[in-house]
Amino acid sequence: MTLTMDTPAAARGSGTLAVELSGAVKRFGAVTAVDGISLAIRPGEVVALLGPNGAGKTSTVDMLLGLSQPTSGTARVYGRAPQEAVALGLVSAVMQTGGLLKDYTVEETVRLTAVLFGRGRAHVEQALQRAGIADIRKRLVGKCSGGQQQRLRFAMALLPDPELLILDEPTTGMDVAGRHDFWTAIRDDARGGRTVIFATHYLEEADAYADRVVFVRRGRIVADGTAAEVKALASGRTVRATLPGADEAALRALPTVESAEVRGDTVYVHAGDTDAVARHLLTRTAARDLEITSRNLEEAFLTLTAEEDPR
């Protein structure tokens, strides 16, 4: 799905915030999907919007695309109402499904989209090249893989040269090389001033390519910062060591230990005071090859977006 029209060149580099949500609330009857989100994104930032299913990500994106109105609070895109920003071609969206005619070739699809925006052959060729699908231009869309169709949607979204690009699971179906090439193109665009907001289940992509990571849970932002800052919010570190015959229950009983797991001869202990755990293992057990690591983004995600214990 692509939502775009002709783009005014004045927006890029204007200094206006690309996205500004202020106390945005979205309710559907008795259900509150977005619960007072405030978020400011500067032009050129690449922001990962992450959260479990039902967290409010889609409802937030819908407000930015002008597909729905906030129940209360405000949503602005480059200082404008989202519907106006979309109508001016400031925004493109690349979604997971829909928007493709299976009986057209890849090139025909891009050329048809280009006509809608008054773009010529040079723009078509550039979009095909940037999306990495120039070599399959004669292939029917219905014969393309899921990853190739996502690249085609990306090419279509690039045609109007949008200021804000919103991506929903953009690399689904792509192989490792395809994902790398895709994100290289996105980072190049961001250096040119384009703003990118993306949702993904590949948390390593958010860790590697996002300037900021925003975690959403139950319609609220629970973390917002660089990947390193967000990982630091999930307190504690993990001690990994080789310890044949380890007693998992004994490890869990150590002070400040939150969790312990034994996998074969290797133990993983997450604790608030990992130095104390390391000293215990090195002086009181036969542990070797000990390593202390910070939580990765996946572990931070699970910790920060976990549902609260009702007890």
Of 160, 43, 186, 44, the residue nearest 91 (C-alpha) = 160
Nearest to 131 by CA among 143, 119, 115, 147: 147
Residue-range domain boundaries for the chain: 19-231, 235-294
pTM over the 0.85 mark: no
Query: What 3-state DSSP class applies to 136?
Result: helix
Is residue 220 within 8 A of residue 287, CB to CB? The reply is no
**CATH number for region 19-231:** 3.40.50.300
Rounded CA gap, 25 and 32, in Å? 7
Q: Which CATH number fits domain 235-294: 3.10.180.10, 3.30.300.160, 3.30.70.980, 3.40.630.40?
A: 3.30.70.980
Token code pair at residue 93: 């969206």
Question: Which residues are within 8 A (CB) of 60 and not within 5 positions of it... i.e. 6 or more apart?
Answer: 21, 24, 26, 34, 37, 49, 216
Whole-number pLDDT of residue 117: 85
The predicted pLDDT at position 7 comes to 42
The predicted structure's pLDDT at residue 8: 44
pLDDT at 14: 58
- Per-residue pLDDT of the chain (311 residues), as tens digits, is 443 334 444 455 557 899 999 999 999 999 999 999 999 999 999 999 999 989 999 999 999 999 999 999 999 999 999 999 998 889 999 987 777 999 999 999 999 999 988 899 999 999 999 999 999 999 999 999 999 999 999 999 999 899 999 999 899 888 888 899 899 989 988 998 999 999 998 899 999 999 999 999 999 999 999 998 888 777 678 899 999 999 999 999 999 998 899 999 999 998 888 999 999 999 999 999 999 987 788 888 888 887 654 43
pLDDT the model gives residue 13: 54
The answer to whether residues 184 and 176 touch, using CB atoms and an 8 Å cutoff, is: no
- Tell me whether the CATH fold assigned to 19-231 matches the one assigned to 235-294: no
